[in-house]
Amino acid sequence: MTRPELKIISGTSNRELAENIVRVLQTRLTDLEICRFADRETFVQINESVRGADVFVIQSTCNPGNENLMELLIILDTLARASAGRITAVIPYYGYGRQDRKAQPRTPVTAKLVANLITTAGANRILMLDVHALQIPGYFDIPVDHLFATPVLFNYFKESKDEYVIVSPDAGGVERARFFAKLLNANMAIIDKRRSEKNKATVMNIIGEDQIKGANLIIVDDMIDTAGTLCSSAEVLAKRGAKSIYACATHGVFSTSAIDRINKSVLDKVVVTDSIYIDNKGKDYKKIEVLSIAELIAEAIERIHEDRSVASLFLDAGEEQVVAIE
């Protein structure tokens, strides 16, 4: 049986990543027109046939989150109405992922709402990367492939001759930090912090403090937003005698004055991926290093298109990570 034609479509949130992905796949982006009317309504038109095709839409729902999400929904609806064979939403960064549960009375579970919207708009399958909470893939009533950027970040630090201690920035990130520590054959510590308000937390204690003094530390997280908590945690670790302090995260959200805050901090370097487009025009990113996830996503797209296992991508990284995927 002839396999449906592979087509890759890019929204406007991270065109550079999409171009890198098609370069790896040795194909091209489907001709798509996206424009905004005077009142900021989004208009989408596909300028070539997608009938019966296996279509992958690459769009991070990052800042401006509402606009990029709406753009994704409109692209999906357009493809469904154009009789695409199968539509996979490739979401390198899943916005609203932190609103994953009803933590207080009379609050929404917006991560679930967004999942419903994407499915209703026409997606048949989801490919996502390092969502904030592992229950989010379960919010979809369609197949979800959940990728992890750990191999990309791990390879960066593996090339160094230094020995590291891995630090989890909070109790919720212990599994992520433990897996990273296992890959690097490193010890780990955990920061115990209390969140007094949104985007603000106070370091109360360090579990495994005896590992900190004189050590090269890597703070491992899924995202860096305002960087306030990250920088204050690094300051506490420096006062406890750390030799050097790195941070790595899949998603560099970098809201408000995050970059300035990082540049003024005791952090030696912050390593993120290009899941979110980083526009360095007019900004000093001297402490930021961006690694590409284009090859990882391209390989996953190829495997999905050919109906091959995506989980086996991570078999070399260790059995625990594969368990987390499935």
Instruction: Tell me which residues are annotated as active site.
Output: 193
Residue 134, CA atoms < 13 Å, CB-side half-sphere: 11
Residue 188 zone, left/alpha/beta (φ > 0; ψ -120 to 50; rest): beta
Between CA 273 and CA 21 the distance in angstroms is 14
SS3 letters across 188-226? EEEEEEEEEECCEEEEEEEECHHHCCCCEEEEEEEEECC
Residue 246, exposed/middle/buried by CB under 10 A (0-12, 13-18, 19+)?
buried
Q: Based on C-alpha coordinates, what's the Rg of the chain?
A: 20
Between CA 115 and CA 123 the distance in angstroms is 10
22 in helix, strand or coil?
helix
C-alpha distances out from residue 306 to 4, 54, 78, Å: 10, 10, 24
Supply the angle between the helices 65-81 and 110-121 in degrees, to the nearest 10: 30
Q: Residue 25's Cα: distance from chain center in Å? A: 21
The one-letter code for the residue type at 32 is L
Cα dihedral value 305, 311, 313, 314, nearest 10? 160
The one-letter code for the residue type at 45 is Q
